[in-house]
Amino acid sequence: MTQKQTLSFQAEVAQLLHLVTHSLYSNKEIFLRELISNASDACDKLRFEALNQAALYEDAPNLEVRVSFDKEARTLTIADNGIGLSAQEAIDNLGTIAKSGTREFMGRLSGDQKADAQLIGQFGVGFYSGFIVADKISVESRRAGLPPEQGVRWTSGGAGDFEVEEVTRPQRGTRVTLHLREDAGEYLNTWKLKSVISKYSDHISLPILMRKEEWKEGEDNKGGEMVLADEWETVNQASALWSRAKKDISLEQYQEFYKQISHDTEPPLTWSHNRVEGSTEYTQLLYIPSHAPFDLWNRDKAAGVKLYVKRVFIMDDAEALLPVYLRFVKGVIDSADLPLNVSRELLQESRDVRAIREGSTKRVLAMLEDLAKLEKDDAASGEDKGKYAMFYSEFGPVLKEGLGEDFGNHERLAKLLRFASTASDATSVSLADYKARMKEGQDAIYYITADSLLAAKNSPQLEVFRKKGIEVLLMTDRVDEWALNYLQDFDGTPMQSVARGAVDLGKLQDESEKKAAEEAAEAFKPVLEKLKQALKDKAEDVRVTTRLVDSPACLVVQDAGMSMQLARMLKQAGQKVPQVKPVLEVNADHALVKKLEGSDRFDDLAHILFDQALLAEGGLPEDPAAYVRRVNSLLA
């Protein structure tokens, strides 16, 4: 490319730029944090690539970010000597939204300024935040390793297109120049820029430099003014925050560091900063966010903490350092033992990495246990008491994945789970709470899974439990059916689905009830045989039940069978599912069931009973039109 090119932005980027220029960020000064963060990342990438290609440092081994301004030209410049961009990279990276696609980004914008601001960093579009304060941005860059004549200049006014041309640039790295709007003059001020850098970027581990100011006397010693000197000074601490002693780090510094690495605008719920010594030495600074990212359920997305080795950046999203079910955790792990040229493949095999993974997993679970304890601590503040509930509402379903993935921490995870129940609509009941409330003679923890809380609460299978005042856990997360395969008991008490097998309340059912049920089943035997014959293609068995009080029938599966809800979920996911033939249980005392005996519409009534039971538990009749015809026929 030798000629200047004018290119259009990726589809819909213009819409994004329109939003940005109308203050998508509620706090305009965040643009400086984003641009300095990008510059720091570019230096980290050079440092990493130079591990194998030292020549990339050229004649400038000291990495840095420089911030400068020109009052007369009304420009603000952020420059780095990091990895830089080639001409094609400038087109690809500055003309598109790099991550999950502009369309998805635009679809997630809600009009809530605070919520929308969180998306900018998550989608890798922090560069565009410069248009909050600038009506034109020019970028000059050269990728390390390319000759000077292969530099590139990128320019845009933030409308629908941008210009790209090759330039000669002796220095590697990138210089972003913002041509400030009339209302952004405050950023042409040393004190203002220093205060913003101190607030948001003090923890950046390489120096951020600005020109010193000095007093210049006026003529004849009359008056004077502050002017910029030729000397540069470091305006941040320029040391990795996690390498400092905890006592030297303020609450605000911890929170701002989290925001920088996570691109979040809200402070985290909690964090843990520790130096671990022993056979494996490493420092961990781990954060638990206060809300879930937009792509939490994408298990294939690269997720994980940032990995450093002896303060040298190695990689983002080092997924080997934490299990997948903790993919919401943000932070940094800095190892003293791993080699600088560690690869993702080596991470999977390293004994040191396994030790870091186990230690970090235990640390995250300990943070969650501390939050959970605050819920029951009378001395805890209201804000602290609500933190675990806030965490669980955002990340509870993901935590349940750990039941099937982390057998070493199985018991700890089970204690952290929370559910709604027939005693509480709030998702606040722990398994320990449930056990403490179990009735005398109760020998199982009863639960039901359903698509929604309303469906669970109104399930016919709960009728006898409600009648006897037995609490039942209501499980409505999609992951519950899968996770409960790995939770057979809690603290020695078996978990029992009320929709599996014949209901057996053991000591909670007196002898007279059992005898009456047996007599009803015997008297009803001829009708049961006819029902089995009529429903042989739909039901595995038909039997009289004691679990129903007000409803005529319900569906259950055998103890070892796949639940109907799980079968529906797998089918919706496009997976092949074996036919699940449930058991139809009927209430022999119900008027509709009694009507079966001697009815000349027996088959129609039998199918209606089955289909209504299917509807009640969240399914749909196999032939909805036939169901409607049968009901209409009876009504007529």
With cut-offs at 50, 70 and 90, classify the pLDDT of residue 193.
very high
End-to-end CA distance of the chain: 80
Mean local confidence (pLDDT), 235-264: 88
Listed range (55-64, 237-246, 392-401) with the worst mean pLDDT: 237-246
> Looking at residue 191, what is its pLDDT?
93
Q: What are phi and psi of 242, to 5 degrees?
A: -70, -15
Residue 298: Cβ within 10 Å count: 12
How far apart (Å, rounded) are the C-alpha atoms in residues 107 and 109? 6
Mean local confidence (pLDDT), 385-390: 90
Mean local confidence (pLDDT), 598-619: 87
> Looking at residue 633, what is its pLDDT?
85
> Looking at residue 46, what is its pLDDT?
93
Crossing angle of helices 387-400/351-376, nearest 10°? 140
300 or 67, greater pLDDT: 67
Amino acid at 46: L
With cut-offs at 50, 70 and 90, classify the pLDDT of residue 170.
very high
> Looking at residue 318, what is its pLDDT?
81
Residue 285 pairs in a beta bridge with: 273, 332
**Sign, CA torsion 408/342/239/289:** negative
Listed range (401-415, 496-510, 535-549) with the worst mean pLDDT: 496-510
The sheet carrying 305-309 orders its strands as: 270-276, 282-288, 330-335, 305-309, 312-318
Q: Are 595 and 605 in contact (CB under 8 A)?
A: yes
Is 100's pLDDT higher than 50? no
> Looking at residue 588, what is its pLDDT?
86
Task: Give 480-535 pLDDT, tens digit per residue.
Answer: 988 988 999 999 999 998 888 666 666 666 677 677 777 777 888 888 899 999 89
Q: Are 392 and 372 in contact (CB under 8 A)?
A: no
With cut-offs at 50, 70 and 90, classify the pLDDT of residue 263.
confident
Which tokens go with 347? Answer: 């991470």
Mean local confidence (pLDDT), 256-264: 85
> Looking at residue 270, what is its pLDDT?
95
Neighbouring residues of 213: CB distance < 8 A, sequence distance ≥ 6 = 190, 226, 227, 228, 229
Is 168's pLDDT higher than 90? yes
Is 587's pLDDT higher than 90? no
Mean local confidence (pLDDT), 123-141: 83
DSSP 191-209: HHHHHHHHHHSTT-SS-EE
294 or 321, greater pLDDT: 321
Contacts of 409-418 with C-beta under 8 Å, sequence gap 24+, read: 409/361, 409/362, 409/365, 410/486, 412/365, 412/369, 413/365, 414/487, 414/490, 415/369, 415/372, 416/365, 416/368, 416/369, 416/372, 418/389, 418/392
Listed range (34-38, 108-112, 608-612) with the worst mean pLDDT: 108-112
Is 181's pLDDT higher than 80? yes
What does R_g of the chain's alpha carbons equal in angstroms? 32
With cut-offs at 50, 70 and 90, classify the pLDDT of residue 634.
confident
Residue 577 pairs in a beta bridge with: none
Task: Give 328-366 pLDDT, tens digit per residue.
Answer: 999 999 998 888 767 777 777 788 889 999 999 999 999
With cut-offs at 50, 70 and 90, classify the pLDDT of residue 419.
very high
Domains of the chain and CATH, by start: 5-237 (3.30.565.10), 242-375 (3.30.230.80), 419-498 (3.40.50.11260), 509-636 (1.20.120.790)
Please name the helix (run of DSSP H) or strand (run of DSSP E) that holds residue 317, with its range, or none: strand 312-318
> Looking at residue 556, what is its pLDDT?
87
Contacts of 272-276 with C-beta under 8 Å, sequence gap 24+, read: 272/363, 272/364, 272/366, 272/367, 273/242, 273/246, 273/249, 274/363, 276/359
Amino acid at 208: I
57 or 103, greater pLDDT: 57
Neighbouring residues of 162: CB distance < 8 A, sequence distance ≥ 6 = 6, 7, 9, 94, 95, 154, 155, 156
CB-neighbour burial class of residue 199 (10 A; exposed 0-12, middle 13-18, buried 19+): middle
Q: Are 595 and 589 in contact (CB under 8 A)?
A: no
Neighbouring residues of 370: CB distance < 8 A, sequence distance ≥ 6 = 270
Is 367's pLDDT higher than 80? yes
> Looking at residue 123, what is its pLDDT?
47
Listed range (15-29, 65-79, 522-536) with the worst mean pLDDT: 15-29
Share of the chain above pLDDT 70, in %: 86
Is 317's pLDDT higher than 50? yes
Q: Which of 550, 537, 535, 549 is nearest to 596 (CA)?
A: 535
> Looking at residue 174, what is its pLDDT?
97
Q: Which of 46, 162, 42, 33 is nearest to 94 (CA)?
A: 162
Query: Up-side HSE of residue 72: CA atoms within 13 Å toward CB?
Result: 1
With cut-offs at 50, 70 and 90, classify the pLDDT of residue 281.
very high
This prediction's pTM: 0.71
